């Protein structure tokens, strides 16, 4: 019998939800090294909550292009103290950004309630079973290869069709292992094994992914395709990020994974008021 929808997914009943990024890593592309200390990371997590984050996404392994893998022990050592500190201070939804079921298990035990898997179960066959057992929401993102080599000549004949079909297959695989479809969120994986033009096509055509029947999460925050368009460094890509969020929201995205929570929340509040007024 499939599990019922997880209570924390009630945020999807709102016009939008914002997931704040908290990278407890030394090498993430934008904020790597800023929050390596658990106390500093917990403080940043609370700032994200105060700025309006519905979800705080805690990750201990960088997924930037070319990133090197981290052992489960090291990843757990980075994220669990932060999750424990945050859970002691707030009832905010905490997601764990990991591809390893062992790490996800430790994070859930520490107080996380969502899993955000950029490999959609490709890297660890145990992730689907864990999500089914815990009846927790799981974000399944489209990607190919690994972060270390994903940008080495990515190729699609029909990026929209291929991403859609591959996401559908991932969702079916998780459902086949007992995960309720009500607990699945999909992410097109902007910037993951994608060329510049692929990212644009996916953003422009998000409605085709929404027709799969799952809520769509989009993570465009400060990514390189924005720099390709604007010529700006990661530190200067907030305006471009907000423009991409406008496009994604208008085409059916419900959740937005961002570094800049306060600015994104304000932007979406005004956008919703103007569109629905």
Which residues are identified as catalytic? 223, 257
Q: Cα-flanking dihedrals φ and ψ of residue 218, to 5°? A: -125, 135
Residue 241 CA to residue 239 CA, distance in Å, equals 5
Structure tokens at 170: 């991932």
In terms of residues, how long is the chain? 277
Handedness of CA 168, 166, 185, 250 (dihedral sign): negative
Residue 233 CA to residue 230 CA, distance in Å, equals 9
Instruction: Name the residue among 219, 195, 72, 254 with its Cα closest to residue 141.
Output: 219
Q: 94: burial class by Cβ within 10 Å (0-12, 13-18, 19+)?
A: buried
Catalogue the long-range contacts made by 213-216 (C-beta closer than 8 Å, 24 or more residues apart).
213/181, 214/171, 214/181, 214/184, 214/185, 214/186, 215/9, 215/12, 215/185, 215/186, 215/254, 215/255, 216/185, 216/186, 216/187, 216/188, 216/248, 216/252, 216/253, 216/254, 216/255
Q: In angstroms, what is the C-alpha Rg of the chain?
A: 17
Residue 265 CA to residue 260 CA, distance in Å, equals 9
Residue 85 CA to residue 35 CA, distance in Å, equals 14
């Amino acid at each position: 019998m499939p599990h019922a929808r997880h209570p924390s997914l009630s945020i999807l009943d709102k016009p939008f939800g914002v997931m704040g990024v908290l990278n407890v890593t030394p090498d993430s592309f934008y904020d790597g090294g800023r929050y390596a200390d658990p106390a500093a990371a917990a403080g940043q997590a609370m700032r994200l909550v105060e700025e309006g984050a519905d979800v705080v996404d805690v990750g201990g392994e960088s997924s930037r292009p070319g990133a090197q893998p981290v052992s489960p022990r090291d990843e757990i050592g980075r994220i669990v103290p932060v999750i424990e500190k945050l859970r002691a201070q707030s009832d905010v939804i905490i997601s764990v950004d990991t591809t390893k079921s062992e790490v996800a298990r430790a994070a859930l035990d520490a107080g996380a309630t969502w899993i955000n898997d950029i490999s959609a179960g490709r890297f660890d066959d145990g992730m689907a079973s864990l999500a089914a057992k815990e009846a927790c929401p799981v974000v399944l993102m489209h990607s190919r290869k690994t972060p270390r080599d994903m940008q080495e000549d990515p190729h699609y004949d029909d990026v929209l069709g291929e991403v859609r079909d591959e996401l559908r297959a991932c969702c079916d695989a998780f459902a086949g292992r007992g995960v309720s479809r009500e607990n699945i969120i999909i992410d097109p994986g902007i910037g993951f094994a994608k060329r510049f033009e692929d990212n644009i096509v996916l953003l422009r055509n998000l409605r085709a992914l929404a027709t799969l029947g799952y809520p769509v999460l989009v993570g465009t925050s400060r990514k390189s395709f924005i720099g390709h368009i604007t010529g700006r460094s990661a530190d200067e890509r907030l305006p471009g990020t907000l423009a991409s969020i406008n496009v994604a929201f208008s085409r059916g995205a419900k959740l937005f994974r961002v570094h800049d929570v306060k600015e994104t929340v304000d932007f979406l509040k005004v956008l919703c008021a103007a569109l629905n007024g």
